């Protein structure tokens, strides 16, 4: 069943249109990866879906409900969360304080949500009193994803979660992504490490110049020779 649908999305910044009729969909408990060259509109698509940009044209629906143009705070309450590429943690706060900030809009006891995040990321439990600014890039990404999960989303949008990370940390992030999906959360991810992301994805999309170029299962995209030469380095 489709959880998220974005249909014929035209969007951009002011009068500059970046997306020219892009469509994507994500099923419940799926990982879907979006790849493409720089400037293809990948991050613009995530920002439009999450209400940071208003589409010029097109429709977005979440779990069967049209949410086109809804602001982020409303989408969060409906089950969608977004982790941007940068500025996604509070470096001066501890791990646990960051997680608690993720649940600031909630009322009542957040301890069960904290426990769920710590079960997904045991390292964060061990480091819960450490200031996030002193953690590695991969560890900070775990904090950012954990903070989003404090709101118990049905779908998580991730924008380049492995950007600028050392190769040995990239695999840790992808293991975290799989663990989140296995916990019942769907994931739409924009990722520069395309091969590794597609390898754990149910499906994928290739965007070029703000348009859909190709879509298929993760394996189909990985095995497509044309896509391999253009976008996967071989």
pLDDT at residue 204 tops 70: yes
pLDDT of residue 234: 52
Average pLDDT over residues 170-175: 88
Percent of the chain with pLDDT over 70: 97
Alpha helices in 127-166 (DSSP H): 137-149
Q: pLDDT band at 233, cuts 50/70/90?
A: low
Kindly report which listed range (110-124, 159-173, 194-208) carries the lowest average pLDDT score: 159-173
Average pLDDT over residues 228-233: 72
pLDDT of residue 172: 85
Fold of 2-231: Rossmann fold (3.40.50)
Helix (H, G, I), strand (E, B) or coil at 140: helix
**DSSP per residue, 59-91:** EEEETTEE-TT--HHHHHHHTEEEE-SSS-S-T
Helix (H, G, I), strand (E, B) or coil at 10: strand
pLDDT at residue 24 tops 70: yes
Of 80 and 152, the structure prediction assigns the larger pLDDT to 80
Average pLDDT over residues 197-216: 95
Domains of the chain by residue range: 2-231
Condensed to tens digits (0 to 9), the pLDDT of residues 41-87 reads 999 999 999 999 999 999 999 999 999 999 999 999 999 999 998 88
pLDDT of residue 84: 92
Average pLDDT over residues 96-112: 85
């Amino acid at each position: 069943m489709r959880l998220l649908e974005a249909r014929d999305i035209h969007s951009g910044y002011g009068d500059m249109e970046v997306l020219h009729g892009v469509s994507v969909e994500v099923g419940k408990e799926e990982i879907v990866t979006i790849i493409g060259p720089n400037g293809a509109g990948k991050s613009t698509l995530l920002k439009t879906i999450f209400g940071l940009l208003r589409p010029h044209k097109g429709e977005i629906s979440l779990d069967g409900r049209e949410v086109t143009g809804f602001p982020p705070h409303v989408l969060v309450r409906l089950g969608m969360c977004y982790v941007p590429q940068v500025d996604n943690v509070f470096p001066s706060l501890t791990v646990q304080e960051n997680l608690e900030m993720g649940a600031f809009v909630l009322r009542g006891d957040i301890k069960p949500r904290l426990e769920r995040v710590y079960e997904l990321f045991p390292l964060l439990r061990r480091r819960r009193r450490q200031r996030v600014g002193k953690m590695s890039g991969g560890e900070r990404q775990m904090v950012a994803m954990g903070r989003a999960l404090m709101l118990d989303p049905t779908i998580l949008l991730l924008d380049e979660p492995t950007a600028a990370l050392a190769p040995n940390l990239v695999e840790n992030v992808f293991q975290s992504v799989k663990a989140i999906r296995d916990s019942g959360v769907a994931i739409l991810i924009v990722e520069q490490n395309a091969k590794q992301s597609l390898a754990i994805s149910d499906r994928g999309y290739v965007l070029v110049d703000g348009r859909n170029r190709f879509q298929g299962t993760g394996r189909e995209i990985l095995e497509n020779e044309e896509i391999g030469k253009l976008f996967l380095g071989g």
